[in-house]
């Protein structure tokens, strides 16, 4: 399991630059991810052999200046509740502002590790200016420059030092697949689980997010056996106001990271909203199997919107990863719930799918021969050999003479062909081009 580190602070102090620097350390090594990364507010980082998840709260604040203050307070309170450590970023150019004081006041009461980071310190003059931040009452600070990266090494040394030890999750202990039910508050996650289990394990009310903790339930009925996880989902603190997007996403992080398949429930009466999309891309980025359940389908006027139109709209939002099962269900009327489980089990099996190298080459090389990568600067890319990598989730490598000339559209073409030939429905796959 990973620790969660939240980056907090008011707008324009350079949180996003700092966040990008943290996650690129790792992402640059891992290789560029195909397609478009939608959600720039969540990533994984690793320092001195310790991996942790990073959330930049800033990206979730929308609206005018006058509501910023309330929003930032909410986000800091949520970060205090949910994260294992908090990085509070301030700006040396502007000095201590009233909003910094407000945030510091909240953070001084916290027992979790809080690291104060003074950003934009990129010359000796500013090193002296940073001294005033002792007045925030948070003790020592780290002077860094998010742009150049100076000072981030010491900060990360201290961060991994203060992160609490997470229990190791070993595969052997529980070989059963873990399915987590995620979604925005009030999409019907608990009703879905109650309907499956046949008892009111979870209190279901109309108040958004009354689920208190992530609850694991061993499920063994109708020939299925797995662990069902209801995300701590997504509980609402009295202080966290309704519909805070960041809140759903932050709550889902842990559950998604520790699952095999994510069952994303959306509310048919509301459509596939920004919050649903954030959770979807979070699961995709973590390479989890995904099944989308459109719940409360019984409440939708069918003449205005058919399943086909509704499904098409969702798939447009999922581009380029559209190979995802979408089912229309009603947790209340128990419609198609067993079908939903069946599909989730299939997606779990697809995620483990291994293709023998000879079969993979026999299938893909003729396709590549008929549709080679476009020539670039008069140079032709020749792909000679391909194979599936021995990784926990499906990854494929294609060996060629000029991997740097293979662009994203061609990678997507290869992925689409691969999906046509082999069944990876609901499973994100990664494709690499390497020099032989």
Q: Which pLDDT score, from 0 to 100, does residue 252 have?
A: 76
Please tell me which residue, 209 or 392, carries the higher pLDDT value. 392
Cα–Cα distance for residue pair 22/330, rounded to 1 Å: 42
Please tell me which residue, 220 or 94, carries the higher pLDDT value. 94
Judge whether 121 is annotated as a binding position.
Answer: yes
Judge whether 211 is annotated as a binding position.
Answer: no
Judge whether 298 is annotated as a binding position.
Answer: yes
Cα–Cα distance for residue pair 368/414, rounded to 1 Å: 8
Q: Which of 17-21, 98-102, 294-298, 356-360 has the lowest mean pLDDT?
A: 17-21
Residue 26 has pLDDT above 50, yes or no: no
Q: Which pLDDT score, from 0 to 100, does residue 66 have?
A: 57
Q: Which pLDDT score, from 0 to 100, does residue 242 have?
A: 43
Q: pLDDT tier at 21 (50, 70, 90 boundaries)?
A: confident
Judge whether 184 is annotated as a binding position.
Answer: yes
Judge whether 15 is annotated as a binding position.
Answer: yes
Q: pLDDT tier at 37 (50, 70, 90 boundaries)?
A: very low
What sections of 43-177 are H helices per DSSP? 65-82, 98-108, 124-129, 152-162
Q: Which pLDDT score, from 0 to 100, does residue 146 have?
A: 84
Q: pLDDT tier at 248 (50, 70, 90 boundaries)?
A: low
Please tell me which residue, 252 or 203, carries the higher pLDDT value. 252
Judge whether 59 is annotated as a binding position.
Answer: yes
Judge whether 11 is annotated as a binding position.
Answer: yes
Cα–Cα distance for residue pair 99/78, rounded to 1 Å: 17
Residue 243 has pLDDT above 60, yes or no: no
**How large is the average pLDDT for residues 41-47?**
80
Judge whether 120 is annotated as a binding position.
Answer: yes
**How large is the average pLDDT for residues 379-391?**
92
Judge whether 233 is annotated as a binding position.
Answer: yes
Q: Which pLDDT score, from 0 to 100, does residue 246 have?
A: 61
Question: What's the predicted TM-score (pTM) here?
Answer: 0.69
Judge whether 12 is annotated as a binding position.
Answer: yes
Spell 363-373 as b/e; 16+ CB within 10 A means b.
Answer: bbeeebeeeeb
Residue 17 has pLDDT above 90, yes or no: no
By the 8 A CB rule, do 294 and 266 touch?
yes
Judge whether 249 is annotated as a binding position.
Answer: no
Q: pLDDT tier at 425 (50, 70, 90 boundaries)?
A: very high
Judge whether 135 is annotated as a binding position.
Answer: no
Cα–Cα distance for residue pair 208/251, rounded to 1 Å: 13
Judge whether 297 is annotated as a binding position.
Answer: yes
Q: What angle do CA 299, 300, 305 make, to 5 degrees?
A: 170
Q: pLDDT tier at 49 (50, 70, 90 boundaries)?
A: confident
Q: Which pLDDT score, from 0 to 100, does residue 172 have?
A: 43
Judge whether 308 is annotated as a binding position.
Answer: no
Please tell me which residue, 93 or 78, carries the higher pLDDT value. 93
**How large is the average pLDDT for residues 349-376?**
93
Q: Which of 29-38, 92-101, 208-217 has the lowest mean pLDDT?
A: 29-38
What is the DSSP-derived secondary structure letter of residue 162? H
**How large is the average pLDDT for residues 46-58?**
83
Judge whether 122 is annotated as a binding position.
Answer: yes
pLDDT digits (tens, 9 = 90+) for 281-335: 889 988 999 999 999 988 887 766 688 889 999 999 998 888 999 999 998 888 8
Judge whether 185 is annotated as a binding position.
Answer: yes
Judge whether 14 is annotated as a binding position.
Answer: yes
Please tell me which residue, 124 or 419, carries the higher pLDDT value. 419
Residue 259 has pLDDT above 80, yes or no: yes
pLDDT digits (tens, 9 = 90+) for 162-214: 998 876 654 444 578 889 998 887 888 878 888 887 765 544 444 444 443 45
Q: pLDDT tier at 375 (50, 70, 90 boundaries)?
A: confident
Judge whether 239 is annotated as a binding position.
Answer: no
Q: Angle, nearest 10°, between helix axes 65-82 and 98-108?
A: 20
Judge whether 16 is annotated as a binding position.
Answer: yes
How big is the chain by its Cα radius of gyration, in Å?
23
What are the DSSP calls for 170-224, one per residue?
A: -TTT--S-EEEEE-STTSSHHHHHHHHHTS--S---SSS----S-EEEEEEETTE
Residue 137 has pLDDT above 70, yes or no: yes
Q: pLDDT tier at 419 (50, 70, 90 boundaries)?
A: very high
Judge whether 216 is annotated as a binding position.
Answer: no
Please tell me which residue, 69 or 265, carries the higher pLDDT value. 265
Which range is most confident: 17-21, 71-75, 348-352? Answer: 348-352
Average pLDDT, whole number, for the chain? 81
Residue 68 has pLDDT above 90, yes or no: no
């Amino acid at each position: 399991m990973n620790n969660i580190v939240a980056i907090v602070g008011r707008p324009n102090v350079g949180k996003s630059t700092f966040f990008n620097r943290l996650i690129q350390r790792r992402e640059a090594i891992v290789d560029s991810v195909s397609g478009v990364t939608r959600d720039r507010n969540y990533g994984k980082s690793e320092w001195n052999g310790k991996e942790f998840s990073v959330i930049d709260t800033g990206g979730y604040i929308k609206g005018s200046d006058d509501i910023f203050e309330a929003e930032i307070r909410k986000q800091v309170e949520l970060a205090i509740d949910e994260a294992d450590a908090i990085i509070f970023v301030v700006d040396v150019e502007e000095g201590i502002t009233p909003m910094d004081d407000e945030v510091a006041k909240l953070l001084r009461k916290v027992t979790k590790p809080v690291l104060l980071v003074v950003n934009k310190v990129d010359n000796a003059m500013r090193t002296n200016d940073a001294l005033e931040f002792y007045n925030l009452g948070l003790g020592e600070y780290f002077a860094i420059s998010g742009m150049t990266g100076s000072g981030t090494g010491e900060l990360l040394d201290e961060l991994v030092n203060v992160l609490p030890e997470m229990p190791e999750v070993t595969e052997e202990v529980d070989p059963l697949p873990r399915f987590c039910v995620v979604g925005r508050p009030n999409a019907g996650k608990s009703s879905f689980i109650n309907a499956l289990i046949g008892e009111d394990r979870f209190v279901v009310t109309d108040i958004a997010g009354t689920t208190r903790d992530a609850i694991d339930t061993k499920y063994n009925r109708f020939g299925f056996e797995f662990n069902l996880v209801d995300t701590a989902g997504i509980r609402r603190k009295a202080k966290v106001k309704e519909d805070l997007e960041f809140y759903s996403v932050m709550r889902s992080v842990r559950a998604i990271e520790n699952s095999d398949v994510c069952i994303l429930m959306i509310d048919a009466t509301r459509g596939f909203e920004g919050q649903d999309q954030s959770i979807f891309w979070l699961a995709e980025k973590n390479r989890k199997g995904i099944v989308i359940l459109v719940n409360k389908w019984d409440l939708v006027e069918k003449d205005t919107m058919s399943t086909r139109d509704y499904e098409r709209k969702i798939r447009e939002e999922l581009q380029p990863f559209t190979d995802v099962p979408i089912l229309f269900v009603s947790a209340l009327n128990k419609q198609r719930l067993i079908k939903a489980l069946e599909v989730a089990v299939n997606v779990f099996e697809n995620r483990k799918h291994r293709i023998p190298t000879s079969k993979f080459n026999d299938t893909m090389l003729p396709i590549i021969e008929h549709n080679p990568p476009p020539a670039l600067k008069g140079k032709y890319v020749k792909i000679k050999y391909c194979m599936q990598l021995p990784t926990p989730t499906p990854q494929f490598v294609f060996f060629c003479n000029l991997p740097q000339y293979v662009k994203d559209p061609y990678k997507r073409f290869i992925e689409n062909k691969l999906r046509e030939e082999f069944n990876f429905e609901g499973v994100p796959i990664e494709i690499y081009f390497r020099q032989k």
